[in-house]
Amino acid sequence: MKNELLRIGPFTVYGYGFMIAIGILAAYFTGEYRAKKYKLEYQHVFYLVIWCLLGGFTGSKILYWATEWKSIISDPGFLLDTLTDGFVVFGGIIGGILTAYVYCRIRHINFLAFFDVLMPSVALAQGFGRIGCFLAGCCYGRETAGALAITFHNSDFAPNNIALVPTQIYSSILDFLHYGLLLYILKHKKRDGQVGAAYLICYSVGRFILEFFRGDLERGSVGVLSTSQFISIFTLLAGIGLLACIMGRKRA
């Protein structure tokens, strides 16, 4: 589409980075707003966002390198060459959740309560992030003859001049719907952790299905499943397990 949005002298504003920035800011402000609304110590939201960004970046990068282990073995310089590009969303989610848990333990605050309040904001940020993917042409779909296809003409990632499934737009729509669903669950939850569990379950199912329409097969696979489909099975089980624990404590 149009990854270079604006040029100011030697500086270029890229669509992908711009949408990521919007997503982060939207996540922060909505997360802080809901922390205040649910009478949590909202001052922690800023630090949680910083920790989660660092943990998410690290996790997404480590998982990307893990999927590219053959390239690293053949050329160790691949690690430095891909330091600023090449990320796996699931790694970012896992890394962000783990660092948030560590932060909450260090500061002695209720992890599950903040988990519930902030996960809708994560879905919101992902929705903006996928628009950035659309502008850049990454995370593209399979070739198609469908009426809703999108064709890139000057992308550094997607094959150009070929009609593709607009998986980025589908992902963005699902993320925004996910945001609304999680807010509904947050409003009606009975126990801390239910929203976080719902995020893991819903995102895993949606991602597993969308992977069938992705065209960037070089991301790797595990048997007949893509790497993301394989990981989504475990995040789905984690979400179900968390929800089962929460409901079990409720009955106790």
Q: Which residue has the higher pLDDT, 236 or 10?
A: 236
Q: What is the secondary structure of 91-152 as a DSSP string?
A: HHHHHHHHHHHHHHHHHT--HHHHHHHHHHHHHHHHHHHHHHHHHHT-S-B-B--STT-EE-
- Those residues whose C-beta lies under 8 Å from the C-beta of residue 18, and which sit 6 or more positions away, are 5, 132
Give the structural domain span for 228: 4-251
- HSE-up of 21 (CA within 13 Å, CB side)? 6
Q: Is the pLDDT of residue 201 over 90?
A: yes
**Segment 179-193 mean pLDDT:** 97
Total-model pTM: 0.91
Reading the block at residue 106, the tokens are 């260090």
Instruction: State the Cα–Cα distance between residues 87 and 149, nearest whole angstrom.
Output: 25
Number of domains making up the chain: 1
Q: Is the pLDDT of residue 169 over 80?
A: yes
What would the pLDDT profile of 74-102 be if each residue is shown by its tens digit? 888 888 888 777 788 999 999 999 999 99
Rg from Cα positions in the chain:
19
